[in-house]
Protein backbone atom coordinates (compact mmCIF):
# COMPACT_ATOMS: atom_id res chain seq x y z
CA UNK A 1 0.00 0.00 0.00
CA UNK A 2 1.09 3.54 -0.68
CA UNK A 3 -0.22 6.76 0.80
CA UNK A 4 0.41 10.37 -0.12
CA UNK A 5 -0.70 13.57 1.59
CA UNK A 6 -2.25 11.82 4.57
CA UNK A 7 -2.97 15.25 6.11
CA UNK A 8 -4.11 16.77 2.81
CA UNK A 9 -6.64 19.59 3.04
CA UNK A 10 -8.78 18.62 0.02
CA UNK A 11 -12.27 17.14 0.47
CA UNK A 12 -11.39 14.68 -2.29
CA UNK A 13 -10.10 11.34 -1.02
CA UNK A 14 -8.35 9.52 -3.87
CA UNK A 15 -8.11 5.76 -4.13
CA UNK A 16 -6.21 3.76 -6.73
CA UNK A 17 -6.97 0.04 -6.60
CA UNK A 18 -4.79 -0.89 -9.58
CA UNK A 19 -1.85 1.45 -8.99
CA UNK A 20 0.95 -1.12 -8.93
CA UNK A 21 2.00 -4.50 -10.30
CA UNK A 22 4.10 -6.01 -7.54
CA UNK A 23 3.87 -9.79 -7.13
CA UNK A 24 4.83 -11.23 -3.73
CA UNK A 25 8.13 -13.09 -4.10
CA UNK A 26 6.60 -16.38 -3.00
CA UNK A 27 4.27 -16.33 -6.01
CA UNK A 28 7.10 -15.96 -8.53
CA UNK A 29 5.76 -14.67 -11.85
CA UNK A 30 2.38 -16.48 -11.62
CA UNK A 31 3.56 -18.49 -14.62
CA UNK A 32 3.40 -15.48 -16.94
CA UNK A 33 6.04 -14.10 -19.32
CA UNK A 34 7.45 -10.69 -18.35
CA UNK A 35 5.65 -8.80 -21.13
CA UNK A 36 2.24 -9.67 -19.67
CA UNK A 37 3.13 -7.42 -16.73
CA UNK A 38 3.32 -4.45 -19.10
CA UNK A 39 -0.35 -4.89 -19.95
CA UNK A 40 -3.58 -3.67 -18.39
CA UNK A 41 -4.24 -7.16 -17.09
CA UNK A 42 -1.54 -6.60 -14.43
CA UNK A 43 -2.34 -2.98 -13.45
CA UNK A 44 -3.95 0.23 -14.66
CA UNK A 45 -1.27 1.43 -17.07
CA UNK A 46 -0.29 5.07 -16.44
CA UNK A 47 -2.63 5.75 -13.54
CA UNK A 48 0.09 5.80 -10.85
CA UNK A 49 1.71 8.91 -12.34
CA UNK A 50 -1.66 10.64 -12.66
CA UNK A 51 -2.65 9.69 -9.10
CA UNK A 52 0.63 10.94 -7.59
CA UNK A 53 0.49 14.24 -9.45
CA UNK A 54 -3.23 14.80 -8.82
CA UNK A 55 -2.80 14.09 -5.11
CA UNK A 56 -0.05 16.70 -5.01
CA UNK A 57 -1.92 19.33 -7.07
CA UNK A 58 -5.11 19.00 -5.02
CA UNK A 59 -3.39 18.41 -1.68
CA UNK A 60 -5.59 15.32 -1.50
CA UNK A 61 -5.02 12.14 0.51
CA UNK A 62 -4.26 9.24 -1.84
CA UNK A 63 -4.48 5.57 -0.84
CA UNK A 64 -3.13 3.21 -3.49
CA UNK A 65 -2.59 -0.53 -3.88
CA UNK A 66 0.89 -1.42 -5.10
CA UNK A 67 0.22 -5.14 -5.58
CA UNK A 68 -0.91 -6.40 -8.98
CA UNK A 69 -4.58 -7.09 -9.59
CA UNK A 70 -3.40 -10.48 -10.89
CA UNK A 71 -2.60 -11.48 -7.28
CA UNK A 72 -5.96 -10.30 -5.97
CA UNK A 73 -8.15 -7.60 -7.47
CA UNK A 74 -8.83 -4.93 -4.87
CA UNK A 75 -11.87 -3.68 -6.78
CA UNK A 76 -13.74 -7.00 -6.72
CA UNK A 77 -15.66 -8.55 -3.87
CA UNK A 78 -13.35 -11.31 -2.56
CA UNK A 79 -16.10 -13.90 -3.18
CA UNK A 80 -16.39 -12.96 -6.90
CA UNK A 81 -14.74 -15.40 -9.35
CA UNK A 82 -12.77 -12.49 -10.84
CA UNK A 83 -11.21 -11.63 -7.46
CA UNK A 84 -8.23 -13.88 -8.25
CA UNK A 85 -8.61 -14.22 -12.01
CA UNK A 86 -7.87 -17.52 -13.72
CA UNK A 87 -8.39 -15.72 -17.02
CA UNK A 88 -7.87 -12.03 -17.73
CA UNK A 89 -9.14 -10.86 -21.13
CA UNK A 90 -7.76 -13.81 -23.16
CA UNK A 91 -4.75 -14.60 -20.98
CA UNK A 92 -4.70 -17.63 -18.70
CA UNK A 93 -2.96 -16.94 -15.36
CA UNK A 94 -1.31 -20.28 -14.52
CA UNK A 95 -0.44 -19.28 -10.94
CA UNK A 96 -4.12 -18.66 -10.22
CA UNK A 97 -5.45 -21.98 -11.53
CA UNK A 98 -6.64 -24.55 -9.04
CA UNK A 99 -5.83 -22.28 -6.14
CA UNK A 100 -6.60 -23.82 -2.73
CA UNK A 101 -9.02 -21.93 -0.52
CA UNK A 102 -6.28 -21.35 2.06
CA UNK A 103 -3.98 -19.79 -0.53
CA UNK A 104 -6.74 -17.47 -1.72
CA UNK A 105 -7.49 -16.52 1.87
CA UNK A 106 -3.80 -15.79 2.49
CA UNK A 107 -3.71 -13.36 -0.44
CA UNK A 108 -6.81 -11.66 0.87
CA UNK A 109 -5.39 -11.35 4.38
CA UNK A 110 -2.04 -10.02 3.14
CA UNK A 111 -3.16 -7.63 0.41
CA UNK A 112 -6.89 -6.98 0.06
CA UNK A 113 -7.88 -6.65 3.74
CA UNK A 114 -5.18 -4.18 4.89
CA UNK A 115 -5.86 -1.90 1.93
CA UNK A 116 -9.59 -1.74 2.52
CA UNK A 117 -9.17 -1.58 6.28
CA UNK A 118 -6.99 1.50 5.79
CA UNK A 119 -9.52 3.21 3.49
CA UNK A 120 -12.24 2.42 6.02
CA UNK A 121 -10.17 3.84 8.90
CA UNK A 122 -9.37 7.02 7.01
CA UNK A 123 -12.99 7.63 6.10
CA UNK A 124 -14.07 6.86 9.67
CA UNK A 125 -11.56 9.33 11.08
CA UNK A 126 -12.56 12.04 8.60
CA UNK A 127 -16.25 11.61 9.38
CA UNK A 128 -15.60 11.70 13.13
CA UNK A 129 -13.57 14.88 12.71
CA UNK A 130 -16.24 16.44 10.45
CA UNK A 131 -13.84 16.63 7.51
CA UNK A 132 -15.83 16.83 4.27
CA UNK A 133 -15.05 13.75 2.17
CA UNK A 134 -15.73 13.00 -1.48
CA UNK A 135 -14.44 9.65 -2.73
CA UNK A 136 -12.78 9.51 -6.16
CA UNK A 137 -11.53 6.15 -7.45
CA UNK A 138 -8.88 6.47 -10.16
CA UNK A 139 -8.52 3.92 -12.98
CA UNK A 140 -7.33 3.55 -16.56
CA UNK A 141 -8.71 1.37 -19.35
CA UNK A 142 -7.27 -0.33 -22.40
CA UNK A 143 -8.11 1.33 -25.76
CA UNK A 144 -9.05 -2.04 -27.30
CA UNK A 145 -10.75 -4.78 -25.29
CA UNK A 146 -11.49 -8.21 -26.77
CA UNK A 147 -11.01 -6.71 -30.24
CA UNK A 148 -13.40 -3.80 -29.76
CA UNK A 149 -12.02 -0.23 -29.94
CA UNK A 150 -13.21 2.24 -27.31
CA UNK A 151 -13.72 5.82 -28.47
CA UNK A 152 -13.72 7.62 -25.12
CA UNK A 153 -10.73 9.55 -23.75
CA UNK A 154 -12.13 9.47 -20.26
CA UNK A 155 -15.21 8.08 -18.55
CA UNK A 156 -16.99 8.37 -15.25
CA UNK A 157 -18.12 5.24 -13.43
CA UNK A 158 -20.75 5.32 -10.76
CA UNK A 159 -23.96 3.72 -9.54
CA UNK A 160 -26.00 5.34 -6.79
CA UNK A 161 -24.50 8.78 -6.29
CA UNK A 162 -26.49 11.44 -8.15
CA UNK A 163 -24.48 14.45 -6.95
CA UNK A 164 -20.86 14.15 -8.07
CA UNK A 165 -21.06 12.15 -11.34
CA UNK A 166 -23.25 14.64 -13.28
CA UNK A 167 -20.92 17.49 -12.34
CA UNK A 168 -17.92 15.47 -13.40
CA UNK A 169 -19.52 14.67 -16.77
CA UNK A 170 -20.52 18.31 -17.25
CA UNK A 171 -17.06 19.73 -16.57
CA UNK A 172 -15.27 17.04 -18.57
CA UNK A 173 -17.58 17.61 -21.54
CA UNK A 174 -16.81 21.33 -21.40
CA UNK A 175 -13.19 20.49 -22.29
CA UNK A 176 -12.55 21.03 -26.01
CA UNK A 177 -12.02 17.85 -28.02
CA UNK A 178 -12.68 15.34 -25.23
CA UNK A 179 -14.86 12.31 -25.84
CA UNK A 180 -16.36 11.62 -22.41
CA UNK A 181 -18.09 8.39 -21.45
CA UNK A 182 -20.99 8.69 -19.02
CA UNK A 183 -20.70 5.38 -17.16
CA UNK A 184 -18.60 4.10 -20.09
CA UNK A 185 -16.66 1.94 -20.70
CA UNK A 186 -17.85 0.52 -17.36
CA UNK A 187 -20.62 1.10 -14.90
CA UNK A 188 -20.33 0.22 -11.23
CA UNK A 189 -22.24 -2.66 -9.68
CA UNK A 190 -22.19 -4.40 -6.32
CA UNK A 191 -21.15 -7.68 -7.97
CA UNK A 192 -18.28 -6.34 -10.07
CA UNK A 193 -16.90 -3.55 -7.89
CA UNK A 194 -15.82 -3.04 -4.33
CA UNK A 195 -14.31 0.37 -3.55
CA UNK A 196 -17.22 2.56 -4.67
CA UNK A 197 -20.07 0.39 -3.32
CA UNK A 198 -18.39 -0.30 0.01
CA UNK A 199 -16.48 2.88 0.85
CA UNK A 200 -18.52 5.41 -1.14
CA UNK A 201 -22.11 4.25 -1.20
CA UNK A 202 -22.38 2.40 2.11
CA UNK A 203 -20.76 5.38 3.87
CA UNK A 204 -23.11 7.81 2.13
CA UNK A 205 -20.23 9.74 0.55
CA UNK A 206 -20.44 11.57 -2.73
CA UNK A 207 -18.38 9.42 -5.05
CA UNK A 208 -17.37 8.57 -8.58
CA UNK A 209 -14.77 6.59 -10.41
CA UNK A 210 -12.75 8.01 -13.26
CA UNK A 211 -11.38 5.93 -16.11
CA UNK A 212 -8.69 7.42 -18.35
CA UNK A 213 -7.74 5.68 -21.59
CA UNK A 214 -4.28 4.31 -20.92
CA UNK A 215 -2.60 5.33 -24.18
CA UNK A 216 -3.15 8.99 -23.19
CA UNK A 217 -1.21 8.55 -19.95
CA UNK A 218 1.45 6.08 -21.06
CA UNK A 219 4.31 8.55 -20.49
CA UNK A 220 5.09 11.12 -17.77
CA UNK A 221 4.15 14.05 -20.05
CA UNK A 222 0.66 12.62 -20.58
CA UNK A 223 0.29 11.83 -16.89
CA UNK A 224 1.19 15.42 -15.90
CA UNK A 225 -1.11 16.87 -18.55
CA UNK A 226 -4.07 14.82 -17.30
CA UNK A 227 -3.29 15.53 -13.67
CA UNK A 228 -3.25 19.27 -14.48
CA UNK A 229 -6.57 19.03 -16.29
CA UNK A 230 -8.23 16.98 -13.55
CA UNK A 231 -6.86 19.26 -10.81
CA UNK A 232 -8.42 22.26 -12.58
CA UNK A 233 -11.73 20.42 -13.06
CA UNK A 234 -11.85 19.18 -9.45
CA UNK A 235 -11.27 22.74 -8.22
CA UNK A 236 -14.30 23.84 -10.29
CA UNK A 237 -16.34 20.92 -8.97
CA UNK A 238 -15.37 21.72 -5.40
CA UNK A 239 -16.59 25.31 -5.90
CA UNK A 240 -19.82 24.03 -7.47
CA UNK A 241 -20.44 21.63 -4.56
CA UNK A 242 -19.90 24.47 -2.08
CA UNK A 243 -22.28 26.69 -4.05
CA UNK A 244 -24.90 23.92 -3.93
CA UNK A 245 -24.42 23.47 -0.20
CA UNK A 246 -23.14 19.91 -0.69
CA UNK A 247 -19.83 20.93 0.88
CA UNK A 248 -19.50 23.50 3.68
CA UNK A 249 -18.96 27.03 2.34
ZN1 LIG B 1 -8.66 -0.08 -12.44
Put the strands of the sheet holding 2-4 in their side by side order: 2-4, 62-64, 12-16, 134-141, 206-213, 154-157, 180-182
DSSP 64: E
Q: How far is the CA of 127 from the centre of ligand 1 (A)?
A: 26
pLDDT for 249 equals: 85
Q: CA–CA distance from 126 to each of 3, 44, 61, 194, 206 (Å)?
A: 16, 27, 11, 20, 14
Q: How far is the CA of 69 from the centre of ligand 1 (A)?
A: 9
Q: How far is the CA of 248 from the centre of ligand 1 (A)?
A: 31
Q: How far is the CA of 141 from the centre of ligand 1 (A)?
A: 7
Instruction: Please say whether the beta carbons of 76 and 186 come within 8 A.
Output: no
Which of 21, 1, 238, 230 has the alpha carbon at shortest distance from 119?
Answer: 1
Q: How far is the CA of 243 from the centre of ligand 1 (A)?
A: 31
Q: CA–CA distance from 165 to each of 45, 52, 80, 119 (Å)?
A: 23, 22, 26, 21
Tell me the pLDDT tens digit for each residue of 131-189: 999 999 999 999 998 899 999 999 999 999 999 999 999 999 999 999 999 999 988 99
Q: How far is the CA of 245 from the centre of ligand 1 (A)?
A: 31
Q: How far is the CA of 75 from the centre of ligand 1 (A)?
A: 7
Q: Which residues pair with 198 in a beta bridge?
A: none
Higher pLDDT, 187 or 49: 49
DSSP 218: S
pLDDT for 146 equals: 86
Q: State how beta strands 154-157 and 180-182 pair.
A: parallel
- The percentage of residues in the chain with a pLDDT greater than 70, rounded to a whole number, is 100
Confidence of residue 60 (pLDDT cuts 50, 70, 90): very high
pTM above 0.95, yes or no: yes
Q: How far is the CA of 132 from the centre of ligand 1 (A)?
A: 25
Q: How far is the CA of 44 from the centre of ligand 1 (A)?
A: 5
Tell me the pLDDT tens digit for each residue of 16-44: 999 999 999 999 999 999 999 999 999 99
Amino acid sequence: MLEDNTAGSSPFLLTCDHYGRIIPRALGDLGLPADEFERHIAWDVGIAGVADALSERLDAHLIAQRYSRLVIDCNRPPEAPSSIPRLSEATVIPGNEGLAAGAAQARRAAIFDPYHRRIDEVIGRRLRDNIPTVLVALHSFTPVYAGVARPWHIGTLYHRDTRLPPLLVKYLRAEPGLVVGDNEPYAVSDDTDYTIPVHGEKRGLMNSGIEIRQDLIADPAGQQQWADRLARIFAEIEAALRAQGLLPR
